[in-house]
Amino acid sequence: MVIDMRLDIDSLRAFKTVLELGGVTRAAHKLNLTQSAVSHKLTRLEERIGRPILLKGSSGFVPTSDGRSLLSYAERLIALHDEAAAHFRSSELAGEVRLGATEDAASEWLAAVLGRFRRLHPRVSLSIRVAQSLVLEQWLRAGDLDLAMMQIFVHDKTPHDLELWREDLIWVQSTDHPFTLESSIPFVSFDENCFYRRAAQEALAVTGRSLNVVLECPSCDGVTAGIRHGLGVGVIGRRHLEPGLMEIEHGLPAFPQICHIARSGKRLSADLEKTLMEAVSQEMVHDM
């Protein structure tokens, strides 16, 4: 008996999307398929592999050891397939895109997204600037950017923003050098345009307390090092909590949830903006 080991791109794409989003329902919505169609593709893929590739965990689907190996191949095959297909669809898109992003967005996924976009649309010129969210917002309003990927509070999101992911902001301090928090809070900050610093100041003002900035540093590593060594407390996204830092769960005001968004300045052509937003959405929209 000959086992059919042909791995079709649509099934691999469904497998990859289920793992990225944690479930069949979300994957079906993103792929514009029914849940039963996604489940069928996963079943067919497992039958062709001849081994289980997914397990149901407490927070969604996770890959088996064979599933992790398959995912590595799937990511490369899908990227090559999409690039090859686009190569033979002559792209008529042309123009200049000035894009801004936070360090968080740029370091996570943006380089891969834009590298692929540039190969698919060689007549589009891309330039990228990395800065704090508050600076990016100023540049976007001033017309210095066409698209900005930045952090805002969820309640400030507009209907035209593309939401990339959400996360909780938390107060943190050193595990080894905890503070007794008084009316003035020693604070480790990026700079005066730091989104977290602005949020902390506004939250504390309601309680009659204030920030005393003890360190300004432009890099994430420098900020977390300052907190870890006991210079002051800080504010970070929960997913960046690392050994040496602990959440301050009591005594300081809580923050509303934030979201990372892509916001357009509405200066690009409709086709160029739509295509770029679709590329960003396919790779950077995540549940955190």
Residue appearing with tokens 């977390």: 224
Please give the Cα distance from 25 to 27 (Å, whole number). Answer: 5
> How far lies 218's CA from each of 173, 195, 199, 235, in Å?
19, 12, 17, 14
Of 209, 217, 221, the closest CA to residue 192 belongs to: 217
Question: What's the whole-model pTM score?
Answer: 0.67
| Integer Cα distance of 42 and 51 in angstroms | 12
What residues does 60 pair with on adjacent strands?
Answer: 57
pLDDT digits (tens, 9 = 90+) for 141-183: 999 999 999 999 999 999 999 999 899 999 999 999 998 888 8
Q: Answer whether 97's CB lies under 8 Å from 127's CB.
A: yes
- Please determine, for residue 2, whether its predicted confidence score (pLDDT) is greater than 50: no
pLDDT above 90: percentage of residues in the chain: 52
State yes or no: pLDDT of 90 exceeds 80. Answer: no
Angle between helix 35-49 and helix 9-21 axes, rounded to 10 deg: 110
Give the pLDDT band (50/70/90) at residue 265: very high
Q: How much is the average pLDDT of 44-52?
A: 88
Q: Looking at residue 264, what is its pLDDT?
A: 95
pLDDT digits (tens, 9 = 90+) for 56-78: 877 778 899 999 999 999 999 99
Predicted confidence at residue 225, as pLDDT, reads 93
Look at residues 156, 164, 40, 69 and name the one whose alpha carbon lies nearest to residue 113.
164
Please report the pLDDT score of residue 22 as a whole number.
85
Q: Is the pLDDT of residue 255 over 90?
A: yes
Which region, left, alpha or beta, applies to residue 181 given φ > 0 means left and ψ of -120 to 50 means alpha?
beta
Q: Residues 174-218: pLDDT tens digits?
A: 999 998 888 899 999 988 889 999 999 999 988 889 999 999 988
Mean pLDDT of the chain: 88
For residue 13 the two structure tokens come to: 């794409």
Q: What is the DSSP string of 173-198?
A: EESSS-----SEEEEEES-TT-HHHH
* Residue 262 to residue 76: CA distance in whole angstroms: 26
Distance linking the first and last C-alpha atoms of the chain: 44
Count other C-beta atoms under 10 Å from residue 20's C-beta.
17
